[in-house]
Amino acid sequence: MSVRVPPVDIEEIQTTKSEKLLAVVLAVFFLIGGLWTYGRLDEWARSTVSPAVTAADRAAVERLSLAEARTATAAAAERTALDEMVLAREAYRTALDADRPARVLRLAYLARGRAYATAQQESRLASAEVSAVRPEATAAGKRIAHAERTAGDRQALLGFGLRFAFVAIVLAMSFWLLARLRRSDTRWLPLSFSAVGCATVLAFVMAGDYATDYIDPLDLGPLVLSLLGIALTLFGFAALQRYLARRLPYRRVRKGECPFCGYPAREGEHCEGCGRAVVAACGTCASPRRVGTFHCRACGAS
């Protein structure tokens, strides 16, 4: 004859290590997706806002760039032609000094001279073109730089707004999920901690990302680390105390202990450890009700 084991209420089982591990793994995957989205929002903002530059301004800058390129090419050709003319002249003079036939060398020298003159003319024309288009191109360049700065400011503002909204929504949803799962007293509560942890890390990433644009943490060094550690530790301690203040009395009552000091409760109306009343009248039916219980056993009121 087999004995049937009564079903176990899983809501009363303490959170296991496996559940905690899965919650950490879930937080890591949440964080991967959150950081990817965080980075993409800035890229999307940069691709959405473009500088308001006219085609005429771009054409003016392009003309100056082409003119400067032609000037550089003409200057290089002029230097090359000068070197070749000097070499041809020295060869011609050497032949004359040696009383050798120099007709061919003279023709080569004259040809190099004409080539050098042509190169000088082209260089002067290119320089004149640069001088002609430079004022318009300079003004256009200033307008383009102003438009790019304005667009950069708009991109930064839009990126910050999108990232702030994203982090705020993630924080709000994660804490809403945590509050809802706590009220329902479900075994899925550790998974809400994953969402809260991911949202918290995203908030710190955003704070560090934008705070370092104006503050160099290396200048303050250990002071910043100390203040940050103190603030986080105090915040964590306060959150822990608040949680314990809400949950500890109920856990003590389930274990048959005084909800105030944890001393084993007996049949009396007062705790033998701290002397405080552990039985009080129900606010609905006035029947005796142990302090810390969820519902009255006489009327079922919460």
pLDDT tens profile 239-273:
767 766 666 666 677 677 777 777 777 677 777 77
User: How far is the CA of 29 from the CAs of 23, 100, 189, 197, 245, in angstroms?
Assistant: 10, 90, 17, 11, 32
Higher pLDDT, 80 or 216: 80
pLDDT of residue 105: 85
Tally Cβ neighbours within 10 Å of residue 192: 20
R_g (Cα) of the chain, nearest Å = 42
Binning pLDDT at 50, 70 and 90, where does residue 36 land?
Answer: very high
**Mean pLDDT over all residues of the chain?**
80
Let me know how long the chain is: 302
Q: Which residues contact 127 (CB under 8 A, 6 or more apart)?
A: 71, 74
Higher pLDDT, 146 or 288: 146
pLDDT of residue 184: 78
Higher pLDDT, 59 or 220: 59
pLDDT, mean of residues 20-36? 87
Distance between CA 38 and CA 206 in Å, rounded? 9
Tally Cβ neighbours within 10 Å of residue 170: 21
Say what the pTM is.
Answer: 0.55
- Identity of the amino acid at 21: L
pLDDT of residue 222: 62
pLDDT of residue 11: 42
pLDDT, mean of residues 108-123? 90
pLDDT tens profile 174-196:
888 888 887 776 778 788 888 88
pLDDT of residue 256: 72
pLDDT of residue 79: 93
pLDDT tens profile 117-173:
999 999 999 999 999 989 998 998 899 898 889 888 888 888 888 988 998 899 889
Q: CA 184, 265, 238, 19 torsion: positive or negative? A: negative
Instruction: Give pairs for 152-156: CB < 8 Å, separation 24+.
Output: 154/49, 155/45, 155/46, 155/48, 155/49, 156/45
